[in-house]
Amino acid sequence: MGDGAGSDRTYARIYAVVKRIPKGRVATYGQVARLAGLRGQARRVGYALSALEDDRGIPWQRVINARGEVSPRSEPGFDLIQRVMLEAEGVRFDPENRVALSRFGWRPRRQRTG
DNA sequence: TTTATGGCTGTCA
DNA sequence: ATGACAGCCATAA
Shortest-distance nucleotide from A73 CA to C1' = B7
Confidence (pLDDT) at A113 = 66
Q: Which nucleotides of B are covered by protein (CB under 7 A)?
A: 6-10
Residue A25's Cβ-count burial label (10 Å; 0-12, 13-18, 19+) is buried
Query: Model confidence at A4, in pLDDT bands (50, 70, 90)?
Result: very low
A47 CA vs B7 C1’ separation (Å) = 7
Least confident of A31-35, A74-78, A79-83: A74-78
Confidence (pLDDT) at A7 = 53
Residue type, A11: Y
Task: Identify whether the C-beta of residue A69 lies closer than 8 Å to the C-beta of residue A98.
Answer: yes
| Closest listed residue to residue A91, CA positions, set A21, A33, A31 | A21
